[in-house]
Structure 1
Amino acid sequence: MRSADLDAPGLKVRHNKDGTARLYWVARADIRKQGYEPETVRLHYNLDDPRERALIEAACRKLQAEMFAWRAGHRQSRRPFDGTIASLIRLYQTDEASPYFGLKHNTRETYDQVLRVIDRAFGKRSLANLTHADFHRWYDEAQKPRQPGGPERTRKAHGIMSMLRRLFTYGIAAEHAGCSRLSGILNAIRFKQPKRRRIRMERHHVEAFIPKAIEAGRLSLALGTALQFETGMRQKDVIGEWEPHEARSEIGGIMLKGKRGRRMLRWVNGLTWADLASGTVLVKETTKTGAMVAHDLSLFPMTMDLLARTPAEAKIGPLIVDEAAGRPYAKDAYAREWRVIARAAGIPDHVWNMDARAGAITEAEDAGADLDAIRSSIGHTQASTTSRYSRGALGKSRQVAQLRQAHRAARNEP
C-alpha cells in the first residue's frame, strides 16, 4: 500500500534501516513558518494493515483541520486530552501553562529526546489501564544492554522514569484524569539510579593536549581547555552556546541559521575579549546559577601563555572561535573537534572535555583548599554540589591523617 493512495493530507513516510515504515503527519511549511505547532506528529499505525488505513486517514484529516483552524485565527484552542500518554506529552509540550515553557532551550531539547522515546514505546497506552507492573517492566526493558554482554543502560531507564514523573506532575496541575494515581505509584517506587561519574581530567592530560592542539592549528581548543581546567569554569561559560532567536526584527550580535533555515540562532553566554579589557582579571556571571565568579588569570600560566599567542588584531569578539568557520563553535562541534586532538595526544576516550571542571576541583582539594573557598571560586551555590565534583582527592584525607598523627604524638602514643 502506498501513502499516495490514501486520503491523508500531510502524511509522510520514513523508513527504518530494516525497511519498516514510520508514519508522520507534517504541518505545511508556510504555516510552520508562521509559528504553528506541533510541526510533526508521529502516527502509530501500520501502513500495510488494511484495517488501519481509515485510522491513518482520519488522524491526518483531523490534524490538517486543526492546522487550518489555527491559521484562520482559532489559536487558543488545544486538542483535548484523550487519556493516552501521547496526548499527555502533546499537552505538556504545547500548554502555555506547562512548566515545559519555563525550561532553557537546551534543557527543552534534551527533554524532547526522551519524550520521543516514550511516545514511540508507550504513546498509545491509556493512563487508566497502567499499573505499577508496567513501570517496572518499562524500566527493565530500557535498562537492557544495547548489545548482549554490554553495560546496562541505567541512565536511560532512570531518565525515562523521571520524565514520566514530570508528565504526571504536570497532569495533576492540569487536572487530567489518572495522573494523580500514577504519580502516587511512581513516588512509591525506587528505581536503581545511574552511578555518578568518577572520571576527571588531570594536569598531564592538559599538558599533552595543548601542544597537539597548537600543532593542528586549533589554538581555540588549547585556550578553551586551559581556561576550563585552570579556572574550573563550565564549558558553556567559556565557549558560549547558540539559543533560538524568534524576534527576526531584532536580529543582532552573532547569528547563525538553524536546521533547515527555519529559525535563527544567536550566540550568547561565552567569554569575549571585552571580559579581559581591564587586564588579567576575569569576572563572569555563570549561566547555570547566575553566580558571579572572578579569576586572576595571571596566576594561571598555561592560560596566559595561550592568550599571548593570540595576535592583537584577533582580540575582539568571542574569546573562543572555530578557526575553520570563523565564528564560535556550532553545537557539538567543540566536543567533536576536541576529541580528535585528545586522541592525538593519547588522552583516553573515557576522559571527556567536561571533566576539566572535576579535575580543577579535585586538584584544588588535593592542594588543601577549603571546600567552601572552592565552591565560591567556581560558582556553586552549595558545598554539597562541589563535593560531588571532587573525584579521588587526597587533600582532606592527608589533613585528617596529619592531625591524628599530631594528636598521637602529643599523647606520646606510637
Structure 2
Amino acid sequence: MAYKEALWDGSDPSYAPGAARSGRWLYWKPPAKYKKMGYTKTSERLPGELGDGRDLDRARRCRELTREMLAFFGVNIDTYDVGTWGWLVDRYINDKHSPIRDVKANTREGYLWVLQRWTAAIGTVSIAQTDYVMICELRDGMKAKGRNEAYISRMFDRLRAVAKYGKLIKHAPAREVSEILSDMRFQSAPRRSVTPTREQIRAIIEEADARGLESFATGLMIQWVFCLRSVDVRGQWLECDPNAGGIVRKRERSRQNRGKPEVYERWQDGLTWDMVDEELTYFEKVISKTAKAMPDPIRFDMTDAAELRQRLTALAARGRIGPVIRSEKTGMPYTRYGWSQVFRRLRDSLGLPKELTVMDTRAGALTEAKNMGVAPFDLRDAGQHLEVSTTDRYARGRNEAIAKVVKLRNL
C-alpha cells in the first residue's frame, strides 16, 4: 500500500489514511495485510462525530496512528512496501537487534554489497510470492549471466540470512522462504588449489624493490614469513564517525555517489610501530579476525629473520610513528584494493600465473610448512586459527601429500 507524502509532511491536512465510518462515529483501522503480519492494534475510535467540524483533528490522528503502525514494522515507507524483500532487507540492515550487527565491520561491508544487489533485483517482490520455483529461476538466471558458483553461493547465503531474520521477527512469509532455502543446496565454490611458491614470492619482492616499493616488499615478506593475512599487515579502512580518533580520511566518491553525504573512514587492524620492539627482534599483535576469541597479542619472533629486520630498519629511518607499511605513492596506509592491485601488476610483469593472488600468500606459506612436516597443531598456531580444521582449508598441496604417502608405502 502506497501512502501519500502528506502522511509525513502534512501537506494535505484532510488526508485521513485508515479512516472508516460506523453510524455517526469514525474509526481508524489498520489495513488487513498489516494485521495479518502481526500488528496487534485493531482500531481506535476517533474524536467527535460526523458533522461536528473536527474533520482535520480526526485526519491528523489517522496520520499519527498510521505512522505508529509503520514504525512497528521498522519500514522505510518512502521506498519499500511492507512485506517486500526491500522492506525486509532494509529492516535487517537497520534493526539494532539484527544479527548483522554482530559481525566485524569489514565483513558487514561485504554483506551490504550483496544485499544491495538483492534489493536491486527483487526489492519490490512480495516475500509471500517467493516460492521454490522463483528461487530456482533466480539461481538459473545468475548462471545464464555467467555468474560462477562462488558468486551464486555468496548471494544465496545472504538471502538465507535475511529470510531467517524475517523468521525471527515472526514474519510468516519469510519463515516459509527460510524453510525452503534451508532444504535447498547451492553448489559451493571449489577450494582454491593455487599456492605461490617461495621462489615466486621472492621474485615479486625483488620486483617491488626494483620499482622503489620497499614498503610493499617488506609487507609481503612479513605476510610470507609469519603466515599473516594482508589485513594484519597493511590494515584496512572502515567507515567511521568523522570525529573518530586515529587516522581518518574522507572516502573517495564514485560518480554515482556524488551529491550524497560525505563518508569517513578510519584506518585500523594493521601493524604499527608501537607493536615492534626497539631492537626489531619481535612484534606483538592481536589478530583481527580472531580478536574476540583470542584477545591477547601474539608475539612474532624476528631474531632469525635477518633480511626482514634489515628491511624494517630501513623503514624505521623514515620515522617510527603510526603504520609500519605505507604506500610510497600516497604516504598513507594501503587500501585493500590498492594492495591487491600492486601485487597483480608485479605478478603480471613477471609473467607469473594470473591465478595467483595476494590472498594466496598465506596459504602458500602454510602449505610450505605442511610439506616440511610441521605438526598439525603447530601449523594451527602458526596460522593463528582456533581449529586444525580451519588451517587444513588453507594448507593445500594435496598432490605433494599423496606423493609422500606413495613413497613411504613403497620403501
Structure 1 position 155 matched with structure 2 position 150:
yes
Larger deviation, residues 173-182 vs 285-294: 285-294
Partner Cα distance (1:344, 1:199) in 2: 19
Q: For structure 1, list consecutive stretches of 5 or more residues without a partner in the other structure.
A: 1-6, 9-64, 147-151, 407-414
Question: Where does residue 289 of structure 1 map in the other structure?
Answer: 290
Q: Do the aligned partners of 1:294 and 1:377 also contact (CA within 8 Å) in 2?
A: no
Structure 1 position 357 matched with structure 2 position 362:
yes
Match of 1:225 among 210, 217, 220: 220
Q: Deviations over 1:91-111 (max 9, x none)?
A: 111111111222222222211
Partner Cα distance (1:183, 1:393) in 2: 37
Question: Where does residue 169 of structure 1 map in the other structure?
Answer: 164
Q: Deviations over 1:336-384 (max 9, x none)?
A: 1222222223322210011100001000011110111011122100101
Rate the CA distance shift 1:75–1:243 in 2: closer, same or farther, 3 A: farther
Structure 1 segment 193-204 matched on structure 2, within 5 A: 193-204=188-199
Cα distance, 1:129 vs structure 2: 1.6
What is the percent sequence identity of the aligned residues? 30
Amino acid at match of 2:309: M
Cα distance, 1:320 vs structure 2: 0.4
Match of 2:251 among 248, 258, 261: 258
Structure 1 segment 314-333 matched on structure 2, within 5 A: 314-333=319-338
Rate the CA distance shift 1:393–1:160 in 2: closer, same or farther, 3 A: closer
Question: Where does residue 78 of structure 1 map in the other structure?
Answer: 74
CA RMSD of aligned residues (A): 2.8
Amino acid at match of 1:223: T
Amino acid at match of 1:273: W
Structure 1 position 110 matched with structure 2 position 105:
no
Q: Decide which structure has the larger Cα Rg and report it.
A: 2
Question: Where does residue 180 of structure 1 map in the other structure?
Answer: 175
Question: Where does residue 11 of structure 1 map in the other structure?
Answer: none
Partner Cα distance (2:131, 2:399) in 1: 47
Partner Cα distance (1:257, 1:135) in 2: 39
Partner Cα distance (2:318, 2:91) in 1: 51
3-state SS in 2 of match to 1:191 = coil
Larger deviation, residues 125-134 vs 165-174: 125-134
Question: Where does residue 60 of structure 1 map in the other structure?
Answer: none
3-state SS in 1 of match to 2:135 = helix
Instruction: Normalising by structure 2, report the TM-score.
Output: 0.74
Structure 1 position 343 matched with structure 2 position 348:
yes
Q: Do the aligned partners of 1:366 and 1:394 also contact (CA within 8 Å) in 2?
A: no
3-state SS in 2 of match to 1:178 = helix
Amino acid at match of 1:265: E
3-state SS in 1 of match to 2:187 = coil
Q: Deviations over 1:278-302 (max 9, x none)?
A: 5312222101112343322233354
Q: Do the aligned partners of 1:228 and 1:235 also contact (CA within 8 Å) in 2?
A: yes
3-state SS in 2 of match to 1:234 = coil
Match of 1:303 among 303, 308, 323: 308
Cα distance, 1:153 vs structure 2: 1.4
How many residues in Structure 1 have an aligned counterpart in Structure 2? 332
Instruction: Normalising by structure 1, report the TM-score.
Output: 0.73
Question: Where does residue 56 of structure 1 map in the other structure?
Answer: none
Q: Deviations over 1:15-48 (max 9, x none)?
A: xxxxxxxxxxxxxxxxxxxxxxxxxxxxxxxxxx
Cα distance, 1:330 vs structure 2: 2.9
Partner Cα distance (2:91, 2:262) in 1: 23
